[in-house]
């Protein structure tokens, strides 16, 4: 059905440079003729709502939240009625807008807009999240610092938007819900395969870092490997010639990162918790600081561990491969581990990220208000199974690489396919809500679909990165700061 979509038969100039032509039956109107501001307080009994850059508005789950919301008097929070549009003034230019699924409360820093009759909020949220519209919002936002520019109600209501008929708005929403469901199910299926492949890779790593090299080509440790009790409750037996040593003995030093504001435009790139993924470090596209002390610059094969995060994510470790000519430092809630030359840092990275060790590390973290902290002293005292010779560590690394290389390639292919699906979805939504494609006939033919029993992809479901739980990640939940 999607492939059969065609443009509208007739177009006219919209008068908006960012929009170009629109279907001849569409109007171009100010947002103030579509929505009225709702500024109601004193409803402290209603649930708290939050805005995600990916999923829009949802009821905040305090039991599973990565961060405990520090709240003032709920009576000051604004009421958002079911079907209302609400947006974060400081993040509207990034797409922090959604439709309230229930009567609830949002921060005083939010704007709540009540749709007038014959206005479908979901259509306009889809429009407001398109790249061109967000650029228009950015140009209308005001502030001293770009990262904190605000879109006030008075500016929002003056912005011009394309507006199809109420029937057409409903048809577009129906089509996008259907298309998004199909794409999300495809993404979910690929994520499940990725999860299985990661389990397979973890099994290979676990055998290597706890039992050593197999004596056969099967990839399985054999009974011929002499074992001894490790004395480590979470580990069990280890090869007889290995040692048990605290992590700190394998390191030259452990350092906390910079506490400076990392959101600047300087030339020194700053790594945060969201840049540690699957044992690797993903470099930010831009810098953050103008200068840092030389001792806080990363060197090749430094390890970073995440000392502060949600209980599910604390203790993640990544290896800095130094695949850049730029200077790179790290934020204060990360700890740099510099490994002694007699040990292989890649082997240690495998061990620290192994399921068995990471689970143990997380159990040692101190949890307060849904935030977990694992300080460097406690982390450094944790004992590890250590092959006594660097040569054996090198062989273990090569063994894991050979065994896991094909798995990594398969995961990379699936991740790229997911990214292509997301790019396709973004383009499809933009083309539909700006009138480049006509979905009226297709929407009328769509079958009624039952509600999906599983939550559709929120960009993080089945994804161990858990970006929605990391406040610095690209898909982060927007904090409901006081105005």
pTM metric for this prediction? 0.79
Half-sphere exposure at residue 349, Cβ-oriented, CA atoms within 13 angstroms: 24
- pLDDT given at position 450: 55
pLDDT at 473: 38
Per-residue confidence (pLDDT) for residue 12, from 0 to 100:
97
- pLDDT digits 0-9 by tens, 93-110: 999 999 999 999 999 989
pLDDT at 477: 41
pLDDT digits (tens, 9 = 90+) for 109-119: 899 999 999 99
**Residues with pLDDT less than 70, the chain:** 1, 62-73, 146-147, 215-224, 262, 264, 449-483
**Domains contained in the chain, CATH given:** 243-386 (3.90.220.20)
- pLDDT confidence of residue 1: 64
Measure the CA–CA gap between 427 and 82, rounded to whole angstroms. Answer: 28
CA distance 118 to 98: 18
In the block, tokens 């949220």 appear at: 125
Query: Using an 8 Å Cβ cutoff, are 223 and 233 in contact?
Result: no
* pLDDT attached to residue 368: 81
Q: Encode the chain in three state secondary structure.
A: CHHHCECCCCEEECCCCCCCEEECCCEEEEHHHCEEEECCCCCCCCCEEEEECCCEEEECCCCCCCCCCCCCCHHHCEEECCCCEEEECCCHHHCCEEECCCCEEECCCEEEEEECCCCCHHHHHHHHCCHHHHHHHHHHCECCCHHHCECCHHHHCCCEEEECCHHHHHHHHHHHHHHHHHHHHHHHHHHHHHHHHHHHHHHHHHHHHHHCCCCCCCCCCCCCCCEEECCCCCCCEEECCCEEEEHHHHEEEEEECECCCCCCCCCEEEECHHHEECCEECCCCCCCECCCCHHHCCCCCCEEEECEECCCCCCCEEECCCCCCCCEEEECCEEEEEECCCCCHHHHHHHHHCHHHHHHHHHCCEEECCEEECCHHHHHCCEEEECCCHHHHHHHHHHHHHHHHHHHHHHHHHHHHHHHHHHHHHHHHHHHHCCCCECHHHHHHCCCCCCCCCCCCCCCCCCCCCHHHCCCCCCCEECCCCC
CB 322 within 8 A of CB 299: yes
Give 80's strand partners.
Answer: 104
- Of 418, 469, 5, 433, nearest to 184 by C-alpha is 418
Q: How many degrees, rounded to 5, is the angle at CA 209 between CA 415 and CA 225? A: 135
């Amino acid at each position: 059905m999607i492939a059969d979509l065609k443009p509208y038969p007739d177009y006219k100039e919209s008068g908006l440079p960012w929009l170009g032509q629109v279907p001849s039956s569409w109007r171009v109107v100010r947002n103030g003729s579509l929505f009225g501001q709702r500024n109601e307080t004193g409803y402290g009994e209603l649930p708290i709502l939050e805005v995600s850059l990916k999923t829009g508005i949802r009821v905040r789950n305090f039991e599973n939240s990565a961060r405990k919301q520090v709240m003032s008097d709920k009576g000051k929070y604004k009421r958002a009625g079911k079907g209302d549009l609400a947006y974060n003034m400081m993040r509207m230019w990034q797409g922090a807008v959604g439709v309230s699924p229930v009567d609830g409360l949002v921060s005083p820093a939010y704007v709540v807009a009540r749709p007038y009759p014959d206005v479908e909020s979901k259509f306009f949220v889809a429009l407001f999240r398109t790249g061109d519209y967000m650029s228009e919002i950015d140009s209308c936002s005001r502030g001293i610092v770009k990262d904190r520019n605000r879109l006030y109600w008075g500016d929002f209501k003056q912005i011009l938007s394309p507006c199809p008929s109420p029937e057409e708005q409903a048809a577009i929403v129906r089509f996008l819900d259907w298309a998004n469901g199909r794409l999300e199910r495809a993404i979910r299926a690929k994520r499940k395969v990725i999860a299985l492949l990661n389990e397979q890779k973890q099994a290979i790593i676990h055998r290597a870092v706890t039992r050593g090299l197999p004596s056969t080509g099967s990839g399985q440790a054999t009974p011929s490997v002499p074992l001894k009790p490790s004395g480590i409750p979470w580990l069990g037996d280890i090869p007889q010639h290995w040692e048990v040593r605290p992590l700190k003995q394998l390191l030259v030093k452990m350092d906390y990162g910079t506490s400076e504001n990392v959101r600047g435009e300087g030339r020194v790139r700053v790594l945060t918790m969201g840049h540690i993924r699957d044992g690797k470090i993903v470099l930010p596209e831009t810098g953050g600081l103008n200068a840092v002390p030389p001792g806080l610059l990363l060197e090749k094969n430094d390890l970073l561990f995440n000392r502060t995060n949600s209980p599910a994510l604390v203790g993640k470790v990544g290896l800095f491969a130094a695949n850049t000519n730029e200077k790179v430092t790290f934020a204060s809630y990360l700890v740099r581990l510099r490994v002694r030359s007699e040990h292989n840092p890649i082997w240690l990275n495998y061990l620290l990220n192994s399921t068995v060790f990471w689970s143990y590390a997380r159990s040692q973290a101190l949890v307060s208000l849904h935030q977990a902290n694992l300080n460097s002293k406690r982390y450094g005292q944790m004992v590890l199974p250590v092959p006594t010779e660097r040569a054996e560590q090198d062989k273990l690394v090569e063994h894991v690489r050979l065994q896991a290389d094909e798995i990594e390639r398969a995961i990379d292919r699936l991740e790229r396919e997911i990214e292509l699906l997301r790019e396709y979805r973004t383009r499809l939504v933009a083309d539909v809500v700006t009138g480049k494609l006509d979905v009226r006939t297709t929407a009328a033919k769509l079958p009624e679909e039952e509600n999906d029993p599983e939550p559709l992809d929120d960009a993080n479901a089945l994804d161990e990165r858990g970006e929605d739980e990391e406040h610095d990640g690209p898909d982060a939940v927007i904090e409901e700061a006081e105005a």
